[in-house]
Structure 1
Amino acid sequence: MAMYMIGYDLNKAGKNYDGLIKRIKEISANWWHHLDSTWIIDCNLTSVAIRDALRLHIDSDDELLVVALKSEGAWAGFNAEGSNWLKQNL
């Protein structure tokens, strides 16, 4: 399994993006979501496969980024739960 960061800008105000969030959670049962438009997931898919699965749930003017993480990170300001998840999974 690999860790991926997913980031997005959803540019259509008032649109329901529940399908996108549901799909992210379906792709990985082990996920982190403490920032509005950023997720970190543990997944055995490639970044291209993740992007393709998620792009079905966004509009053509939205932006989506999927990046493989290489196990090092630094952060500030997260609660204990968020920090602990990152420490245990990155």
Structure 2
Amino acid sequence: MSSYLIGYNLNSASTDYILLAAEIKKLGTWWHHLDGIWIVKSGLIATQIINELSSFMEDEDELLVVRLSGSGAWIGFNETGSDWLEENL
């Protein structure tokens, strides 16, 4: 399994954030501490994740999915958020 950063801008007023968030949670183990940014540990590849999520977005919305390398740095997150990052990147 790989970890992926999922970022989006929901530019369409008709996009249902709740449905999109529920679909992201179905992809695997997830982290969500920043608006519009998720990290998901999944057995899918980036194009499969795009395909899974694109039906929950409108043409005006933007979606980015990138596989993470395993290293990172962060500040300001609570212990739970930091622990998840350390265990799953």
- Structure 2 counterpart of 1:18, one-letter code: I
Q: What is the TM-score with the length of structure 2 in the denominator?
A: 0.93
Q: 1:73 to 1:81 in 2, by over 3 A?
A: same
Per-residue CA deviations over 1:19-38 (Å, capped at 9, x if unaligned) read: 1111111111x110000100
What's the secondary structure of 1:23's corresponding residue? helix
Cα distance, 1:88 vs. partner?
1.2
Contact 2:15 2:57 in 1 (8 A): no
Local SS of the residue matching 2:5: strand
CA RMSD, Structure 1 to Structure 2 (Å) = 1.2
Instruction: Give the deviation of 1:14 after TM superposition.
Output: 6.6
Counterpart residue number, 1:71? 70
| Higher mean displacement: 61-70 or 8-17 | 8-17
Gaps of 5+ in 1: none
Q: Which runs of 4+ in 1 moved over 4 A?
A: none
1: CA distance between counterparts of 2:15 and 2:7? 17
Question: 1:12 Cα shift?
Answer: 2.4
- Structure 2: runs of 5 or more not aligned: none
The reply to whether residue 23 of structure 1 matches residue 40 of structure 2 is no
Aligned to 2:38: 39
Task: Name the stretch that deviates more: 17-26 or 41-50.
Answer: 17-26
1:15-56 superposed Cα distances (whole Å, 9 cap, x missing partner): 42211111111111x110000100001101110000011011
If the length of structure 1 is used for normalisation, what is the TM-score?
0.93
In structure 1, what is the equivalent of residue 49 of structure 2?
50
| Percentage identity across paired residues of the two chains | 47
Aligned length: 89
* Residue of structure 2 equivalent to 1:9: 9
